[in-house]
Structure 1
Amino acid sequence: MISRHFDGIGMERDGVAYRVPVRFASAPWRPGLPLPRPVDLSRADHNAVVLLHDDFMDEQASEWDQFLQSTRAAMEARGNADVYIPFCDYSGSAIPASDSGRNTQYVYRKGWTGLNEIARDKRLLLHILVQIRRHLRKLSADDRDEPLFVSHAKADGDTAAREIVDYVQSPGHDVPLHTFYDAMELNPGEDFKARFDAEISRGTLIAIVSDVYDSRPWCVFELTTAKRHRRPIVLADIGGVRVSRTFPYGANLPRVRLDAGGPVGSWIDPLLVEAMSEGLRCDVFLAQAAKVAAAASEVLVMPRPPELFDVIDAEVCPRVILYPDPPLGDIEARLVVRAMAAMRSDSELKTLGEYRA
């Protein structure tokens, strides 16, 4: 399940999507020994080592504990490049001795026993995604929690937004996120526009796209602010009857169709997984692009396909707009290129693959 999810985590065309490879370490490597092949950490710049502790490991507790010790020693030898994400089994049994001696915090899954299998899988993915993204922020010297900003129209999106916020904030749901909801989060006398901008500029935005969302000025402000700061955005479509006006710059973003009338957990956990997956895709792309474009001047790195908004909104048109593969289609690319050329004659539009070439 983890492999299927991470094997197609982002932009897709003709069935080909952005891939984060997942490797298994479970089957015995040598006859007579229960342990798998040692994890080869050198195959990636960064690794997330996910331990799924279970009763089979308890049957060979000593051997598996040695495997964990050697794996963690190899991780420590690489500095802070990698992250360790351990999960207890559903019975809540004792964790391996070496991790206990290190006072290692585990994700305790005993409280998940009331969830069905699909819900447990989504909760597992959510924890993995959040911890990987936290680790990447630490590597960039940003140890702050990232807020989940829930953008919505009060008229017909408030119920769904409130359900998301209540669900995330409930201690019983074990959701490792915190939310920013609306003006009720502000202190009296605070500049609410500046605070909204600050929260959006470092957060992941879920837009509850209801029938009237696109016509509300504050919703447009929140969505365009997230785009301007190049933040992860997921559109949660709860439209019911008729949209009188579609805001054109809600394009080039993942959109999830929600049945917000169903059981709360059945649609909120999958939505949170989509939001964190989009966030991880953006994180990884920006890190990859920085390796090849960090020293280049006048390069605007976009974690999503560019559009007219990005060109016209820029204070100075960049020489190159760099964005993820696959390339834009001819019609869409022609519009963006013409807008760039009107502002700067030597401008170019390139995917990361084209730029590397």
Structure 2
Amino acid sequence: MIDYLRIHVLWADGSVESQRIAEMISTHFDGLGMERDGVAYRIPVRFSSAPWAAGSTLPKPVDLTRAAHNAVVVLNDDFMFEQAAAWNDYLAETRAAITARGEVDIYIPFGSPGREAVPASDAARNTQYVRRDRWTQLTTPAARDKRLLLHVLVQIRRYLRTLKVDQRDEPLFVSHAKADGDTTARAIITYVQSPDNDVPLETFYDAMELNPGEDFQARFKEEIGRGTLIAIVSDVYDSRPWCVFELTTAKRHRRPIVLADINSVRISRTFPYGANLPRVRLSPAPGDDAWIDPLLAEAMSEGLRCDIFEAQARKALAGADALVLPRPPELFDIVDGDPPPNTILYPDPPLGDIEAELVQRAVAAIAPSARLLTLSEYSA
């Protein structure tokens, strides 16, 4: 079976720290984004480190044929530098194999934390490495892990966009209520935009980013309609019309959404269409920004899950008309807009009995001939 995407992590044998990072990457991608009924989307991760042949320090060549797309992550460090000649040839051959397959794979190299030189073949190609030596403000392994994960996630998502018609960078839209969510939202935007942080994301914050004379509602729709949305769910968020507008706009455009819950006292009314989404509980303290990278990684993970499901669904459909939902279907998806086509496709696993009964009743009333199927059911 050919996977849609595989991640290959390369590091020099003997580097305990690089092995730890590789295992962290594998654990993260073993369950990506939203989990339902104990099931989460898994992206296979393969390691290339242990010597393959007697007398060699190098691993087996990376097998790129087992996936439609591959992300090759290189962890350069002092161990790789000590074996520079051998690893230079190995990486040059890996790059050549990637090039031979056309524009279907991505190469994501990370520089050495100790500032050791990159392999000569990559230097000759002016290959940009992620500068881990600049992450001086990240003082714990957990903080550095989340920053590295964020880079991997963002670069894979950017690469997948090159396969689509719209290749513009995708903004991170931070939806919030001014009354009690502005401090948290502003902390995220300031953190991402700071030149002191190596966070490879674009952001959209609020009307202050608009030009005078712009139609702010139309601009919000445009930014949300091609972005990833983080909703700062505070005590009053669900009661604010503009927050409801932003959240439903993201759902209407089938965009990735993560709820960041900062509720402190009481939510007087829960907006029903804020359900059916991954939710992260936050307790940000003044002056502490350690929570931001994990939240961004969660949002990009959910985004990658949505990206891959959409690509797999479109391939399976082969041009057939269908409503493709990146999340389990709910009443909003069925009743919003025009009647759905004959096929409504959503991620596995199938809906539970209670959810399915409600949604099927709505489908029967609006589009009686429509079939509600998971991707595996449709493919079968």
TM-score category of the 2 structures, normalised to the smaller one:
over 0.9
Deviations 1:197-225 (A, max 9, x none): 00000000000000000000000000000
In the alignment, which of 271, 283, 291 is matched to residue 259 of structure 1? 283
Partner of 1:200: 224
Query: What root-mean-square deviation, in Å, do the aligned CA atoms of Structure 1 and Structure 2 show?
Result: 1.0
Q: Does 1:118 align with 2:142?
A: yes
What letter is aligned with 1:340?
Answer: V
Contact 2:39–2:349 under 8 Å retained in 1: no
Q: Does 1:56 align with 2:79?
A: yes
Contact 1:206–1:275 under 8 Å retained in 2: yes
What letter is aligned with 2:154?
Answer: V
Partner of 2:262: 238
Q: Does 1:6 align with 2:29?
A: yes
Contact 1:148–1:178 under 8 Å retained in 2: yes
In the alignment, which of 33, 37, 46 is matched to residue 56 of structure 2? 33
Which whole-Å CA distance do the structure 2 matches of 1:263 and 1:78 have between them?
47
Contact 1:12–1:326 under 8 Å retained in 2: no
TM-score (norm 1): 0.98
Please give the residue correspondences for 1:150-299 in structure 2 after superposition, counting only pairs within 5 Å: 150-261=174-285, 264-297=288-321, 299=322
Please give the residue correspondences for 1:268-347 in structure 2 after superposition, counting only pairs within 5 Å: 268-297=292-321, 299-347=322-370
Contact 2:32–2:301 under 8 Å retained in 1: yes
Which segment drifts farther, 317-326 or 220-229? 317-326
State the aligned residue count.
Answer: 356
Contact 1:155–1:212 under 8 Å retained in 2: yes
Contact 1:10–1:19 under 8 Å retained in 2: no
What letter is aligned with 2:42?
Answer: R
Q: Does 1:65 align with 2:81?
A: no
Q: Percent identity?
A: 72
Which whole-Å CA distance do the structure 1 matches of 2:298 and 2:221 have between them?
23
Which whole-Å CA distance do the structure 2 matches of 1:263 and 1:271 have between them?
16
Which whole-Å CA distance do the structure 1 matches of 2:125 and 2:166 have between them?
25
Q: 1:262 to 1:285 in 2, by over 3 A?
A: farther
What letter is aligned with 1:58?
Answer: F
Shift in Å at residue 262 of structure 1? 5.9
What letter is aligned with 2:133?
Answer: K
Aligned to 1:172, what secondary structure does the other structure show? coil
In terms of fraction of residues, the more strand-rich structure is 2
Contact 1:234–1:275 under 8 Å retained in 2: yes
Aligned to 1:24, what secondary structure does the other structure show? strand
TM-score (norm 2): 0.92
What letter is aligned with 1:350?
Answer: L
Which segment drifts farther, 11-20 or 36-45? 11-20
Q: 1:143 to 1:13 in 2, by over 3 A?
A: closer
Aligned to 2:291, what secondary structure does the other structure show? helix
Partner of 1:95: 118
Which whole-Å CA distance do the structure 1 matches of 2:170 and 2:144 have between them?
23
Deviations 1:36-82 (A, max 9, x none): 00000000000000000011111111110000011000000110000
Shift in Å at residue 259 of structure 1? 1.0
Shift in Å at residue 83 of structure 1? 0.4
